[in-house]
Amino acid sequence: MTNHRESKGTPRNNHGNLKSTYNHIDHKKTDTLIFALGGLGEIGKNMYCIEHEDEILIIDAGVRFPEENLLGVDYVIPDYDYLVKNKSKKKTLIITHGHEDHIGGIPFLLKTVEGIHKIYAGRFAISLINRKLEERKMLRSVKLIEINAQSSIKTKHFTVGFFNTVHSIPDSLGILINTPNGRIVATGDFKFDLTPVGTNADYQVMAYIGQIGVTLLMSDSTNSGVEDFSISEKKVADMIMEITRQTTGRMIVATFASNVHRVAQILDAAVSCGRKVIIFGRSMENVVAIGRKTGTIKLSDKHFLTPEQLNSTPAGKICIVCTGSQGEPLAALSRIAAGTHRFIKLIPGDTVVFSSSPIPGNTASVNQVVNKLFRAGANVLTKSVLTNLHTTGHASQEEQKLMLQLIKPKYFMPVHGEYKMLKQHKETAMETGIPEENIFTCANGDVLIMRKEQVFQSKYRINADDIYVDGNDISGVSTAVLKDRKILSDNGLVSVIVAIDSMENKILCKPVIVSRGFVFIKDSHGLLKEAEQIVYNALKQKMEQRTTFSELKNTIRGSLEPFLYNMTHRNPIVIPVILNSKAAMAAMQQARTNKTHGHTSKKAKTTLSDSK
């Protein structure tokens, strides 16, 4: 990148394999650059950037929720280092819709990157972002500007327009970006539903955009492997209404809190059938509150129950809407199933409805919850070929083809999906007539160059690593901790204990090596003895002149790590422990003396600490 210092190594694809150098070019100052910091090769942390000279347009700022192997991690966010380094460039943040994988990273982005003073988003997304920033006392740091399909944003180099799309959350928008080098369309998450709940998609606007000419389309790939059209949300509404009408006892419904239209349908069906509603789960409570405020959910206070009213309300008049459709251990439904919920105890005759499908990887946890519900005597209904209890919010293959036919792009970049999904979307695009050489299946950090309505792959890449967040920490410490845990689990730990006399600058005895999780000590006695000798020789040579504790630790690691790898092909964490023996003995003696007098001096504590 001009005036930037990104890695200039050979470009690689999502699997780390070398890419063809065809079409990989240097860029000029007048080029428009397109790249993703998140959202490619994964589901989540969507963040796409369009850069021209001294401006960067950012589309979405999401998080990804950690996989099971990332214990102790709350969120995964993109590495914002590139945006930090380019602090002099004006940045504009535009949000397509209010799901966490598109807005969850906003607080972390604002904390890390300077110069983001405005966020443009639809009405519902604004409400969600507002609450998120309010919780972190960050509302004063940025201005939230509401947009809709009629809005227009004009900056120095970009003119941005919008069109309505259908998704599982209100006010979902597609984006048209006019740049000095061509037009870009970013669909955001979308599907085509001919009988939608809520606002319909702007078919005529999309067709018009296709007629005036689009250089590059960036389109949602999540359901690239699903054939045909997805079922309409109206069919799900009809099924929920039928089940609500037929259920005689209490009804407990679990769904995604983020699927606001579905939540609204469940509440409407309950009230239509004479039931009162109670909400459990923090995220569900937040979404229902915002839905009522924005008018998506049209129920008054009289239709809601408090926990104290549950026991005095007939079972056939209750509908409980809760989180936990994915088997999350701490969610309301999991606690209900386990019998640990504060207000709800399952009774025979309860009907539990899963208005969702398990996300890949969650099937086992969902099945555990379902089994517990059955054991408690509940009747459990899940999505099947007989029950249309859920439909996706993402376009399947036929809907993706329709978007491609409406927009008619010259070049295509599939986004928002694992590598397999991006690849399948590429094949779908080729079926609609886009040449293979005009389709870019990129990884996070790959840079596309748009020049005079032509698109090329750049030689350069931007650092786009994952950053692990523990609580609100975005310093990268959590990332380092996770890497250490991984090394410990794979390779173990080796501790080297060395006693020295710093006054005389000499080693008092040979180092002692202690191993945990690296090798079986009884079978590796010779290896460890040889390792001790190698460390001893390296330290002896180092201490022929004056040195520091830090240099001694580096000497231990530098001599031991290559030897252990050559002998075992494993890289354990090496922890040097240097005992300055005479000082340690004196400190210990002082500590004992002070203990006899009932106190420990600060000086003794400090000396002991230093001796470690």
Cα separation, 501 vs 507, in Å, equals 6
- The answer to whether position 22 is within a domain reads no
Chain centroid to Cα 597, Å, comes to 56
Full domain range(s) for residue 62:
28-228+393-463
**Catalytic-role residue among 97, 99, 167, 394:** 394
Summarize pLDDT for 197-219 with one digit per residue, the tens: 889 999 999 999 999 999 999 99
Chain centroid to Cα 87, Å, comes to 24
* Confidence bin at 612 (pLDDT 50/70/90): very low
Edge to edge, what strands does the sheet with 276-280 contain?
276-280, 318-322, 251-254, 351-354, 379-381
- The answer to whether position 564 is within a domain reads yes
Q: Collapsing DSSP states into helix, strand and coil, what is residue 55?
A: strand
Buried b (16+ CB within 10 A) or exposed e, 11-28: beebeeeeeeeeebeebe
Contact 395, 403 (CB under 8 A): yes
- The answer to whether position 250 is within a domain reads yes
Summarize pLDDT for 456-483 with one digit per residue, the tens: 999 889 989 888 887 656 555 556 666 7
- The answer to whether position 17 is within a domain reads no
Question: pLDDT at residue 521 above 60?
Answer: yes
Cα separation, 256 vs 324, in Å, equals 8
Summarize pLDDT for 109-124 with one digit per residue, the tens: 999 998 899 999 999 9
Q: Collapsing DSSP states into helix, strand and coil, what is residue 595?
A: helix
Question: pLDDT at residue 16 above 50?
Answer: no
**Has 465 been annotated as catalytic?**
no
* Confidence bin at 23 (pLDDT 50/70/90): low
Which amino acid does the sequence have at 278? I
- The answer to whether position 122 is within a domain reads yes
Considering the domain architecture, whether residues 402 and 365 belong to the same structural domain is answered as no
Domain boundary among 463, 488, 520: 463
- The answer to whether position 603 is within a domain reads yes
Question: pLDDT at residue 507 above 60?
Answer: yes
pLDDT at residue 22 in the model = 39
pTM of the model: 0.77
DSSP per position, 473-536: B-SSHHHHHHHHHHHHHHH-EEEEEEEEETTTTEESS--EEEEESSS-GGGGHHHHHHHHHHHH
Considering the domain architecture, whether residues 453 and 516 belong to the same structural domain is answered as no
* Residue of 442, 480, 445 whose CA lies nearest to 465: 445
Q: Count the residues in the chain.
A: 612
362 vs 47, higher pLDDT: 47
In the predicted model, what is the mean pLDDT of the chain?
87
Summarize pLDDT for 243-259 with one digit per residue, the tens: 999 999 999 999 999 89
Helix (H) or strand (E) holding 458: strand 454-461
pLDDT at residue 70 in the model = 67
Considering the domain architecture, whether residues 240 and 211 belong to the same structural domain is answered as no
CATH number for 528 = 3.10.20.580
Q: What is the mean pLDDT of residues 411-437?
A: 96
Contact 62, 437 (CB under 8 A): no
Question: pLDDT at residue 577 above 70?
Answer: yes
Considering the domain architecture, whether residues 370 and 492 belong to the same structural domain is answered as no
**Backbone phi and psi for residue 275, each to the nearest 5 degrees, phi listed first:** -100, 155
Considering the domain architecture, whether residues 370 and 397 belong to the same structural domain is answered as no
Q: What is the mean pLDDT of residues 510-525?
A: 81
Helix (H) or strand (E) holding 558: helix 549-568
Domain boundary among 344, 359, 381: 381
Give the β-pairing of 159-164 and 173-179. Answer: antiparallel
Considering the domain architecture, whether residues 199 and 270 belong to the same structural domain is answered as no
Q: What is the mean pLDDT of residues 186-201?
A: 94
Q: What is the DSSP letter of 227?
A: -
Range scoring the smallest mean pLDDT among 211-220, 318-327, 561-570: 561-570
The phi-psi region of residue 584 (left if phi > 0; otherwise alpha if psi is between -120 and 50; otherwise beta) is alpha
Considering the domain architecture, whether residues 346 and 406 belong to the same structural domain is answered as no
H-only helix segments in 189-273: 203-212, 233-246, 260-272
Considering the domain architecture, whether residues 249 and 357 belong to the same structural domain is answered as yes
Contact 453, 67 (CB under 8 A): no
Percent of the chain at pLDDT exceeding 70: 87
pLDDT at residue 593 in the model = 61
CATH number for 196 = 3.60.15.10
* Residue of 576, 577, 226 whose CA lies nearest to 400: 226
Considering the domain architecture, whether residues 583 and 515 belong to the same structural domain is answered as yes
- The answer to whether position 10 is within a domain reads no
Summarize pLDDT for 279-298 with one digit per residue, the tens: 999 999 999 999 999 999 99
- The answer to whether position 5 is within a domain reads no
* Confidence bin at 238 (pLDDT 50/70/90): very high
Domain boundary among 414, 432, 463: 463
Cα separation, 231 vs 391, in Å, equals 6
Considering the domain architecture, whether residues 249 and 189 belong to the same structural domain is answered as no
Q: Collapsing DSSP states into helix, strand and coil, what is residue 254?
A: strand
Q: What is the mean pLDDT of residues 12-28?
A: 52
Range scoring the smallest mean pLDDT among 131-145, 504-518, 571-585: 571-585
pLDDT at residue 580 in the model = 82
Task: Domain count for the chain, please give it.
Answer: 3
pLDDT at residue 279 in the model = 96
Q: Which of 24-38, 393-407, 467-481 has the highest mean pLDDT?
A: 393-407
How many other C-beta atoms are found inside a 10 Å radius of the C-beta of residue 476? 14
Which three-class secondary structure string do you get for 135-147? HCCCHHHCEEEEC
**Catalytic-role residue among 60, 189, 202, 220:** 220
Considering the domain architecture, whether residues 347 and 456 belong to the same structural domain is answered as no
CATH number for 249 = 3.40.50.10710
* Residue of 350, 358, 361 whose CA lies nearest to 324: 358
Question: pLDDT at residue 1 above 60?
Answer: no
The phi-psi region of residue 41 (left if phi > 0; otherwise alpha if psi is between -120 and 50; otherwise beta) is left
* Confidence bin at 434 (pLDDT 50/70/90): very high
586 vs 44, higher pLDDT: 44
* Confidence bin at 8 (pLDDT 50/70/90): very low
pLDDT at residue 5 in the model = 34
Angstrom distances, CA of residue 513 to CA of 142, 454, 487, 492, 496 = 54, 61, 19, 13, 5
**Has 416 been annotated as catalytic?**
no
Considering the domain architecture, whether residues 507 and 451 belong to the same structural domain is answered as no
- As a dihedral over the C-alpha atoms of residue 198, residue 61, residue 481, residue 327, rounded to 10 degrees, the angle is 0
